[in-house]
Chain A
Amino acid sequence: MKVAITSTGNSLESTVDPRFGRCAYFAIYDTDSKAIAFIPNPARHVEEGAGPKAVQQVASYEAKKIVSGEFGMKIKPLLDSLKIQMIVVKDPEKKIMDIMEMLNH
């Protein structure tokens, strides 16, 4: 299963980006193959509608879960309709590798 993690950078040492719509990168982690890909978020600089754009993006990677620091109120119904689960991690110190490790429980 694929999990999207919002990331501040493109390495395993990067921390979880607290913003969903305007995160710098999406780390797409495949929990089966253990492969990870960092994809720059094309929505991060748009004036408006970054959230819905980011949702589209994540959906196109076929991610079933998203890990981020926050989701705007408008995002929840969108993700609900796509049956993508939201996981809110509030610890700003958490690194992508930490999240991967937790997902491998």
Chain B
Amino acid sequence: MNHSSLSLDRTNVHYMSPRTKRLRKVINPPVIKGFKPYGPDTGKGKAEPVMLHYEEYEALRLCDYDLYNHHAASIFMGVSRPTFTRIYSAARQKIARAFVEGRQIAIEGGKVYFDSDWYHCGSCKCFFNNPEKDQKVGECPLCGDTEKISGVEGDPEKFVPETSVEVGTELCYCPQCGYEQRHQQGIPCKQEVCPSCQSHLTRKTLPGKQPARHRGGRKH
């Protein structure tokens, strides 16, 4: 209510620079790719679908499905409160537009920024880092794609293949974008979510020679 607390809030807002690259975390990837309207008048105008980004889907899920308040939801997504509010209103406006105008809703990977050192290109499947920390990653340094760039969360040791990786190593593999990580004993691959494109991972065994016992069996 008093002026000093108001100016303090302003200072906080100032610190939350919109340029700060923070991960807009998507905890649960959507189970569907979108919605289609039905009824006699649908499909007449062939209107463009409304694109709902992952982060918008996530904001809506946290607030209106899991019933968290904006403060808690912004913490979950790792963004400032004003940023969260902006993402959330965008989500609601898009859905309202789809309802009113009878458009399809397509859920797609939006600008999910990561505070990470590593990026993945879904187009040419390469991984790359960003040596110019103060510059935003705009395109793939290899193929030049600008659409399918995503940050990779976590330890690059997980996905940078090392010489020590033996034939027969179990990997969790992303069928969508080719991301791989070492399989962890006891955690089904399907439970793991691709940090790059949010798809569910599947099991993959590195190809190569069969384990020794198979060859031994042949001999006898």
Contacts and interface: CB of A to CB of B under 8 A. Distances in A.
B160 A103 contact: no
B157 A73 contact: yes
A79 interface: yes
A89 B140 CA distance: 12
Contact of A86 (B129, B144, B162, B178): B129
B18 to A, nearest CB: 25
Contact of B143 (A79, A86, A105): A105
Contacts of B141: 65, 85, 87
Contacts of A45: none
Contacts of B180: 90
A35 interface: no
A19 B125 contact: no
B129 A105 contact: no
A12 interface: no
Given A69-B161, A80-B131, A102 B143 contact: yes
Interface residues of B, number: 23
Interface string A85-102: 111111100000001001
Contacts of A87: 126-128, 141-142
Contacts of A88: 126-128, 160
B203 to A, nearest CB: 17
Interface string B117-160: 10000001111111110000000011111000000000011001
A18 B161 contact: yes
A69 B159 CA distance: 11
B115 to A, nearest CB: 16
Interface in A54-68: 65, 67
Nearest to B124: A102
6 contacts: A71-B160, A85-B131, A89-B125, A90-B125, A90-B161, A103-B142
